[in-house]
Structure 1
Amino acid sequence: MSNFKQDFDSLAGKTSLSDDVDRRTFLKAALGTGFAAAVMPVTAQTVIKTDTAGLTAGSLEIQANGLSVPAYRSQPEGKTNLPVVLVVSEIFGVHEHIADITRRFAKLGYLAIAPDLFVREGNPAAFASIPELYKNVISKVPDDQVLGDLDACVVWAKENGGNVDKLAITGFCWGGRITWLYASHNPKVKAAAAWYGSLVGEKSELMPKQAVEIAPSLKVPVLGLYGAKDQGITQDHVAQMKAALAKGNSKSEIVVYPNSGHAFNADYRPSYVEADAKDGWKRTLAWFKAHGVS
């Protein structure tokens, strides 16, 4: 953890990252390589480490609304016509764990892309606490901007070996909420898996809708994976979402793990629950396959 902070200071020159060139240089070097200070504490090392043998994997830039958006992508080397999965990070950005998830998908034959959806507002690695990170970055990110950046990733995938007729999305925490929203936004998505993404909450100009509001009109089947011990996303919230989904016909499902709290798939944090994380991963793959994304 301290080594990544030292790398950050070195790359950023301990100055502001407001300059586009310096920021892009930093992001290209840091994307998928470490953890933001705000994620403390972390375990000694991640539980799952996926190599790049047989893969084309690493950072790149995707053009979205006039900006080069950094992303980490993994795909089987030399293969085309690949099913595509968008991977949406937590508030901590595209760090080593998120990059590893793209590699896990790629080992199974997917083209997986995890974009830096905070690139315009700031870098999660620059903040030492979650409140600071939320105030300075996350609270300033418009939903419409995020959905547009994900659309750009789909365009890139179509041009680089992906079969976007087999399109899925998955996300974690902040990215879990975005997963619900993107499934509503893009009817071309065949399946989605939202890991402990928020379901209800206050609306704002930047966040005009919550997942529970789009649930009745949702067409894309979404698998929601939640922990019964999650103190932020309560079982009351889950019950509200189930009731809202029952009003529609998306055939979405929600699975609640009795022994887990929030972030039970985050294998670099103490919140990790191995049995439930493995079950959630298995269910996600089966969900995608059942809906034609494999």
Structure 2
Amino acid sequence: MTRREFIATTTLATGFTLAVQPIAESIIATDPTGLIAGAVNIPVKDGEIPAYRAQPATGKNFPIVLVIQEIFGVHQHIQDACRRFAKLGYVAIAPELFARQGNVSQLDTIDEIRQVVAKVPDAQVLSDLDATVNWAVKSSNGNSDKLAITGFCWGGRITWLYSAHNPQVKAGVAWYGRLVGNTSELTPKHPVDVASKLKVPVLGLYGGQDTGIPLDTVEQMREQLKASRSQSEILVYPDAPHAFFADYRPSYREVEAKDGWKRLQAWFKQHGV
């Protein structure tokens, strides 16, 4: 297959990624009644990538929120998050940002998934998100003057980077995204490297018991943000582990997840989205 053919035939997960089984009983399922919700294709530089889109069934000029996946892809949890946003009046779009590198929803282990994700260039991701915003405006009644972004884990890191990349973003919320790391051709910068020049207000939500994101790196990020004019903030939930918003996993913490969701809505409203 050519790359174009590969991208066009890649599909979204219909349930949960195999590597995250079994699914916890705490899973939230948002009713799609009153919504337009489902898979769409986003034209990008080298073909198309699949995405999940949810928006109110009636109306126009919707604020746009980009919903950025965990390493597990655009599976049911991320799709449900899009529906939650749509219930609030947004057009919410989660593009499958690993589409060229592989279908992570069918892989059995996190190690296999990490091998796929490690091949995804940041430049490709940022370009695909630009294309997603353009599609939302042209094909989904989206208002580019009211653009927000949120992401989880891998997507939390991308939330910081895209907010630095695209000054059109009005507000971002990064859920436990990695802040530091080794630089490479595929990942030339990390959030801590762009923080001091950030202009977009980003709210970072982190867990004090997150073994993968040490609190000293969170403090490094806070220090760098002090030099910016972005009004960005970081909140640490002392007792929360990594992935505390992921209601389908044992890491879910209902109190912190609900508080973070309320703070996200207030943050978006505060900054005009």
Q: TM (normalized to structure 1)? A: 0.89
Distance 1:247 1:54, change over 3 A: same
Aligned twin of 1:155? 134
RMSD: 1.6
- Deviation readout 1:155-181 (Å, 9 max, x if unpaired): 011112000100000000000000000
* Structure 1 residue 66, shift from structure 2 partner: 2.5
Say whether 1:134 aligns with 2:114.
yes
Taking the aligned partners of 2:55 and 2:80, their CA distance within structure 1 comes to 12
Aligned twin of 2:228? 248
Distance 1:287 1:19, change over 3 A: closer
- Deviation readout 1:36-75 (Å, 9 max, x if unpaired): 222234314x521101111111001010112111000000
Q: Does the aligned pair in 2 maintain the 1:76–1:110 contact within 8 Å? A: yes
Aligned twin of 2:74? 94
Q: Does the aligned pair in 2 maintain the 1:55–1:106 contact within 8 Å? A: yes
* Structure 1 residue 126, shift from structure 2 partner: 2.7
Q: Which residue of 178, 182, 186 maps to 1:202?
A: 182
* Structure 1 residue 221, shift from structure 2 partner: 0.2
* Structure 1 residue 259, shift from structure 2 partner: 1.4
Distance 1:20 1:156, change over 3 A: closer
Aligned twin of 2:148? 168
Say whether 1:39 aligns with 2:20.
yes
Code of the aligned partner of 1:195: W
Taking the aligned partners of 2:52 and 2:237, their CA distance within structure 1 comes to 30
Q: Does the aligned pair in 2 maintain the 1:32–1:99 contact within 8 Å? A: no
Q: Does the aligned pair in 1 maintain the 2:6–2:100 contact within 8 Å? A: no
Taking the aligned partners of 2:243 and 2:164, their CA distance within structure 1 comes to 23
SS at match of 1:62: strand
Taking the aligned partners of 1:152 and 1:92, their CA distance within structure 2 comes to 22
Taking the aligned partners of 1:18 and 1:127, their CA distance within structure 2 comes to 23
Say whether 1:182 aligns with 2:162.
yes
Query: For structure 2, which runs of at least 5 residues remain unmatched after alignment?
Result: none
Q: Does the aligned pair in 1 maintain the 2:71–2:117 contact within 8 Å? A: yes
Q: Which residue of 23, 44, 50 maps to 2:30?
A: 50
Q: Does the aligned pair in 1 maintain the 2:201–2:231 contact within 8 Å? A: yes
Distance 1:47 1:78, change over 3 A: same
Taking the aligned partners of 2:171 and 2:260, their CA distance within structure 1 comes to 15
Q: Does the aligned pair in 1 maintain the 2:10–2:49 contact within 8 Å? A: no
Taking the aligned partners of 2:214 and 2:206, their CA distance within structure 1 comes to 9
Identity %: 59
Q: Does the aligned pair in 2 maintain the 1:32–1:98 contact within 8 Å? A: no
Aligned length: 272
Taking the aligned partners of 2:126 and 2:180, their CA distance within structure 1 comes to 19
SS at match of 1:140: coil
Structure 1 residues 1-294: aligned runs within 5 Å: 24-25=8-9, 27=11, 31-44=12-25, 47-135=27-115, 137-159=116-138, 160-293=140-273
- Deviation readout 1:119-144 (Å, 9 max, x if unpaired): 00001123211111111x10000000
